[in-house]
Structure 1
Amino acid sequence: MVSKNVSSCAGSATLPFQYVPVEEVERIEKYQLGGYHPIMIGDSLQSRYQVAHKLGYGTYSTTWLCQDSQSAEFVAIKVGTAESSAREVHVLDYLSKCTPLDHPGRAMIPSVQDNFVLHGPNGNHPCYVTAIARCTRLLISQLVLAIDYIHSQGVVHGDLHIGNVFLRLPADFNQLSIEQLYEQFGSPAFEPVVRLDGQLLPSGIPSKVVPPIWLGKASELFTTSESRALLGDLGEAVQPSAEYRYSSHAPLSFLPPEARFEPELGLSFPADIWTLACCIWIKLGQRPLFEDTLATPDDITAEQVDTLGELPRQWQQKWEARHEYYDESGLPNQGRQVSSWGERLENHIQLQRLKALVPVFDSEEKAAAMNMLRLMLCFEPKKRWTAHDILKCEWMEKWALPDYEESRLNDRGGYADSL
């Protein structure tokens, strides 16, 4: 699984800088006891997997593109920090054994090919192996089906955003040698690790780091057979019937409001529905519903209120910064630029589609799509649609799902038969 997730590492905001920062690379300070495992291009993991490139990094892991010496195929290996758990492997294993077998969303859950533990200077690191995939445009129908499948099995994703949705790579990718991989996608760009105090590197710190490889391409260049989605990064997944999760690590612009105002209730299935709506919005028009550039949590809450209306009364009382954005009557403070739901629809979706030379929604489809999204974005979690409700709504049944079914029928690569 590709993960070009560049979210900050847990606790890294409080780590003092000890090394010269490198762009597009994980915080080097996190290579410490309990943190990342030092890996170099060319390393052999388990005497089987040769490291060819980095695929990405996230809060609790780095992910590497490796060639399996037994099968000669490329795989993705996710190497957890020593403080991480094997939760994701357990969740993927559980979902792979669930019924019904014919649920179309099941095919969008990656399977674990191998798992092991690496022992290093920073601790013991859980690792698992999956097929590789590429980051690219999100396929809405497949994503909704995938969420419907995991929810039907009692699993909440917990960290859903566009960076965790991928497309499978074509079969001929495995015909490349490592040298050909570099010729086609670029060789690793090594950056030396340098201490700010000029001292020698301690053990557990790699001598060089490398930004992730980019395996994607423009969305219009994808063929039907290449448009096979995978839902990735279930490391934050939770089963509400058996455990509580009180916080969300989703990006700020995707964060469901209950994670801020009612964390004591724990996250559940409606949290995924909120983040799913944010994913759908950004891929319909290529702009996020809530802009998070240089934004604070209060800025995001204000954007949510501007767009969707007043917060529930019990949340208004908890929002201490409300007076910085609204007067006592609930009107925006003078001088604030406010963008309503309708304005965001026109500027974020219709205008962006025009710029991309993609047909805009006609009045009928626009009304159906916006009705679906509004019912996914209810502030009160209990009032949001379920994934099953979404699959049965007008926009999905009349526009999205028919296109998806047609693509399956036209796919001569056998995707329809594999579901």
Structure 2
Amino acid sequence: MLPSILNTFTIHGPNGEHTCNVTSPARASLSDLKDGSWVRLFQINVARALAAQLVLAVDYVHARGFIHGDLHMGNVLLKSPPSFDQLSPEEIYEKYGAPELDPVVHLDGKLLPPGVPSHGIAPIWLGAPSEKITLPEARILLTDFGEAFSPKEAKSESHTPLVSRPPEARFEPNRPLSFSSDIWSLACTIWTIIAQRQLFEGFLATEDYMTREHVDTLGILPPEWWKRWDARPDNFTEDGKPTKRNPYRSWDDRFEDSVQLPRQEVGTPLFDAEERDAIFAMLRPMFAFRPEHRSTTKQILESEWMVKWALPEYEKIRKGD
């Protein structure tokens, strides 16, 4: 579930030397699969298997003393099928199309400056709409370790996208991030895997908007954060009731709107009440505002939803059922 470096080489070009790592190709990121779909949903068995693998991968990283630091759907890739490695370049071109060269030109007709390539190559699409992904195809790679770090580095700045960034990165900016910061982002990613939309939504959102989303969904912030949040009076009363300018959407509302209703509309199976409750029981401790109160990956793997629903679906893939 983690990419292996198969080879390395150095490119000597007009802009200097660049060391390149060769890894196995992947089909697409999970976010790309959703972007390629009108439905933006995975089949329930596929969603379970994807979530299980992601937790296993993060558990592996944490067990070796590292924090990923940038967990989101764009950094979880769908593996290429084993048959892909057997294709010759000609067969790849026949199946997916030959490379398309797009010329790079100056809009004013001037010559290109040194170091600028004469053309670019559009990437081929190896993915499929999210709802078309089958269980045997649902194997993942957790990638992009550019933000990974060891707790010994005492890193306190998070570059995770705002919609999945843990709140302590804002309210305790001088406190070193820990494994628990990954747990918050992991919970956001699991939600997006099983849902049509993200739990905390906001296009070009600000920090204040995201904090409002957190409080809407999870309740009042820890007292010292609540007092320091300057925009709180514009959004909530002192006791946490939303103002008229802030329509309230609870955890239950979001599950119905983003998980159940979209599945009902396209005629796919829904999560039954027992499984829904197990999902809630697993995710809520992962979304504890205080980092020290969040679940560990070991505890997540021992949760009812993982044991009863998610891990068994991954086991079917592993055994080739």
Shared fold, TM over 0.5: yes
The TM-score by the shorter chain falls in which range?
A: 0.7 to 0.9
**Map 1:190-229 → 2, pairs under 5 A:** 190-195=101-106, 199-219=110-130, 221-229=132-140
Is contact 2:199-2:254 (8 Å) kept? yes
Which moved further from structure 2: 314-323 or 139-148? 314-323
Rounded to whole Å, the distance in 2 between the matches of 1:206 and 1:150 is: 38
- Partners of 1:123 and 1:313 lie apart in 2 by 52
The question of whether the paired residues in 2 share the 8 Å contact of 1:224 and 1:410 is answered with no
Q: Which is richer in helix?
A: 2
Q: Which amino acid aligns with 1:306?
A: D
- Distance in 2 of aligned mates of 1:324 and 1:404: 45
Q: Distance in 1 between matches of 2:105 and 2:210?
A: 37
Verify: 1:124 aligned to 2:17, yes or no: yes
Match of 1:403 in 2: 313
1:269-280 equivalences under 5 Å are 269-280=179-190
Give the aligned partner of residue 46 of structure 1. none
Q: Map 1:8-407 to 2 at 5 A.
A: 108-135=1-28, 137=30, 139-195=50-106, 199-219=110-130, 221-240=132-151, 242-407=152-317
Offset of residue 270 of structure 1: 0.7
2:263 partner SS? helix
Q: 1:176-196 deviations in whole A, cap 9, x for unaligned? A: 333432332234444333446
| Residues 136, 219 of structure 1: 8 Å contact kept | no
For 1:181 and 1:380, the matched residues in 2 are separated by: 49
CA distance in 1, matches of 2:97, 2:209: 39
Question: What displacement does 1:223 show?
Answer: 4.8
Structure 2: which 5+ residue stretches go unaligned?
31-46
Between the two structures, name the one with larger relative contact order (CA 8 Å, sep ≥ 6): 2
Q: Is the 8 A contact 2:8 2:20 kept in 1?
A: yes
- Once residues 185 and 235 of structure 1 are traced to their aligned partners in structure 2, the CA distance between those partners, rounded to angstroms, is 30
Cα pair 2:26 2:80 within 8 Å, conserved: yes
Distance 1:335 1:321, change over 3 A: closer
- Count of residues paired in the alignment: 303
Alignment root-mean-square deviation, CA: 2.1
Query: How far apart in 2 are the matches of 1:222 and 1:335?
Result: 40
Q: How far apart, in 2, do the equivalents of 1:248 and 1:211 lie?
A: 31
The 2-side partners of 1:310 and 1:220 are apart by 36
Q: Give the letter for the 2:298 counterpart.
A: H
Q: What's the CA shift for 1:320?
A: 2.5
8 Å Cα contact 1:111/1:130 also seen in 2? yes
- CA, structure 1 residues 315+199, in 2 after alignment: closer, same or farther (shift >3 Å)? farther
Rounded to whole Å, the distance in 2 between the matches of 1:222 and 1:342 is 27
Seen in structure 2, the aligned counterparts of structure 1 residues 228 and 330 have a Cα distance that, compared at 3 Å, is closer
- C-alpha offsets along residues 103-141 of structure 1, whole Å, 9 cap, x if unaligned? xxxxx1111111233333333323101111112556111
- Alignment match, 1:44: none
Separation of aligned partners in 2, 1:196 and 1:376: 51
Matched AA of 2:241? L
Q: Deviations over 1:6-53 (max 9, x none)?
A: xxxxxxxxxxxxxxxxxxxxxxxxxxxxxxxxxxxxxxxxxxxxxxxx
Secondary structure of 2:240's partner? coil
Change (3 A) 1:198 1:308: farther
TM-score (norm 2): 0.86
Question: Secondary structure in 2 aligned to 1:191?
Answer: strand
Contact map agreement 1:146 1:231 (CA 8 A) in 2: yes
Distance 1:135 1:164 in 2: 10
The residue aligned with 2:37 is: none
- For 1:383 and 1:226, the matched residues in 2 are separated by 35
- Give the direction of change, closer, same or farther, for the CA distance of 1:330–1:357 in structure 2 (3 Å limit): same
Aligned-pair distance for 1:211?
3.6
Equivalent in the alignment of 2:44: none
- Between the aligned partners of 1:279 and 1:320, the Cα distance in structure 2 is 28
| Residue pair 1:159, 1:236 contacting (<8 A) in 2 also | yes
Describe the superposition over 1:232-268 as per-residue Cα deviations: whole angstroms up to 9, x where unpaired. Answer: 111111111x312222222221111112222211221
Conserved 8 A contact 1:136-1:217: no
How big is each residue's C-alpha offset from its partner over 1:304-352, in whole Å with a ceiling of 9 and x where there is no partner?
1110111112222332222332244432222322211110011111112
Paired residue secondary structure (1:127):
strand
Q: Scaled by the length of structure 1, what TM-score is found?
A: 0.67
2:235 touches 2:245 (CA, 8 Å); kept in 1? no
Structure 2 CA distance for aligned equivalents of residues 332 and 196 of structure 1: 51
